[in-house]
């Protein structure tokens, strides 16, 4: 079986680094005269929640005065980063697998964990391509299909489950037609740039792109439920502030942001 591993699709700073840099510029602008923030938490969050959590952080700051720093990447890579001792306060995972991994390793407080959003899995293609594909089984003839790396990217795990459900995975992988991306944002970017003929991403990612069209939505029965989990990191030194953000994730203000970006309510 042969799989093609793609790079991040950029030669400059990573998307996560750029997001973090932008956030700290935002935080500095919010401070008075460049003073150090009175209170701050750090969130490690799944790449597919970038827009959602960025806006939620601004809403949270406006209502509490607590500033938020964050890093976005695949849930698996973030869980392993927390395991190495990287300081953070909240872990947001796009799959039950990685929140359970963090729980088994005592990296998060299991009692604090809950599901705050859901999503759907879709197949997209670059706008210039007009394949006419309308169902999953028609992907058997695709030339290059991008998915997140199933080893650590939840969207890739769901994609592999769906392809296995329809009996497509073995042939596509053996034919070197599957291009693995480091996170779901990169998976989408490969399609946007025309590097692949199709990609499997979340519905929320497809909806925010003007460079791809959605071909179809995978049946929910073809993969495990796509759920987003939040938990307070066990080693956090700001558990009280982290707890307030966790409460914010259940508020009407946050649910409005959830709806805005097309996520399903829990």
Give the C-alpha separation, 146 to 182, whole Å: 11
The total number of residues shown for the chain amounts to 266
Q: How confident is the model at residue 39 (pLDDT cuts 50, 70, 90)?
A: confident
Q: What is the pLDDT of residue 34?
A: 47
Give the C-alpha separation, 175 to 183, whole Å: 22
Q: How confident is the model at residue 21 (pLDDT cuts 50, 70, 90)?
A: very low
Q: What is the pLDDT of residue 16?
A: 42
Which pTM does this prediction carry?
0.85
Q: Mean pLDDT, the chain, as a whole number?
A: 90
Give the C-alpha separation, 25 to 119, whole Å: 30
Q: What is the pLDDT of residue 231?
A: 98
Q: How confident is the model at residue 31 (pLDDT cuts 50, 70, 90)?
A: very low
Q: Give percent of the chain with pLDDT exceeding 90.
A: 85
Instruction: Give the model confidence (pLDDT) of 194-244 as tens digits.
Output: 999 999 999 999 999 999 999 999 999 999 999 999 999 999 999 999 999
Could you count the other beta carbons within 10 Å of the beta carbon of residue 250?
12
Q: What is the pLDDT of residue 38?
A: 65
Please state the three-class secondary structure of the chain as a single string: CCCEECCCCCCCCCHHHHHHHHHHHHHHHHCCCCCCCCCEEEEEEEHHHHHHHHHHHHHHHHHHCCEEEEEEECHHHHHHHHHCCCCCCEEEECCHHHHHHHHHCCCECHHHCEEEEECCEEEEEECCCCCCCCCHHHHHHCCCEEEECCCCCHHHHHHHHHHHHCCCHHHHHHCCCEEEECCHHHHHHHHHCCCCCEEEEEHHHHHCCCCEEEEEECCHHHCCCCEEEEEEECCCCCHHHHHHHHHHCCCHHHHHHHHHCCCECC
Q: What is the pLDDT of residue 3?
A: 73
Q: How confident is the model at residue 8 (pLDDT cuts 50, 70, 90)?
A: low
Output the six-digit token pair for 210. 């003007």
Q: How confident is the model at residue 7 (pLDDT cuts 50, 70, 90)?
A: low
Q: What is the pLDDT of residue 115?
A: 98
Give the C-alpha separation, 83 to 80, whole Å: 5
Q: What is the pLDDT of residue 102?
A: 98
* Least confident among 11-15, 176-180, 251-255: 11-15
pLDDT at 128 over 80: yes
Domains, the chain, in order of start with CATH, read 4-8+120-222 (3.40.190.10), 39-118+226-260 (3.40.190.10)
């Amino acid at each position: 079986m042969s799989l093609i591993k793609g790079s991040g699709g950029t030669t400059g700073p990573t998307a996560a680094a750029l997001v973090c840099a932008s956030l700290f510029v935002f935080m500095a602008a919010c401070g008075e005269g460049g003073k150090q923030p009175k209170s701050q938490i750090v969130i490690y969050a799944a790449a597919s929640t970038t827009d959602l959590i960025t806006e939620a952080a601004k809403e949270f700051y406006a209502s509490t005065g607590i500033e938020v720093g964050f890093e976005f990447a695949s849930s698996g890579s973030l869980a392993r980063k927390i395991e190495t001792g990287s300081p953070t306060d909240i872990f947001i995972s796009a799959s039950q697998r990685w929140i359970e991994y963090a729980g088994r390793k005592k990296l998060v407080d299991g009692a604090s964990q809950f599901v705050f959003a859901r999503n759907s899995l879709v197949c997209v293609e670059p706008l210039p391509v007009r394949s006419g594909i309308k169902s999953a089984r028609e992907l058997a003839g695709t030339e290059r299909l991008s998915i997140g790396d199933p080893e650590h990217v939840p969207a890739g795990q769901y994609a592999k489950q769906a392809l296995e459900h329809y009996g497509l995975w073995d042939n596509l992988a053996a034919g070197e037609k599957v291009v693995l991306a480091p996170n779901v944002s990169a998976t989408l970017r490969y399609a946007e740039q025309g590097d692949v003929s199709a990609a499997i991403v979340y519905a929320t990612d497809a909806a925010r792109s003007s460079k791809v069209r959605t071909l179809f939505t995978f049946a929910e029965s073809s993969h495990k439920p796509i759920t987003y989990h939040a938990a307070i990191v066990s080693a956090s030194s700001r558990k009280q502030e982290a707890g307030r953000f966790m409460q914010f994730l259940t508020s009407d203000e946050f649910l409005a942001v959830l709806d805005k970006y097309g996520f399903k309510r829990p």
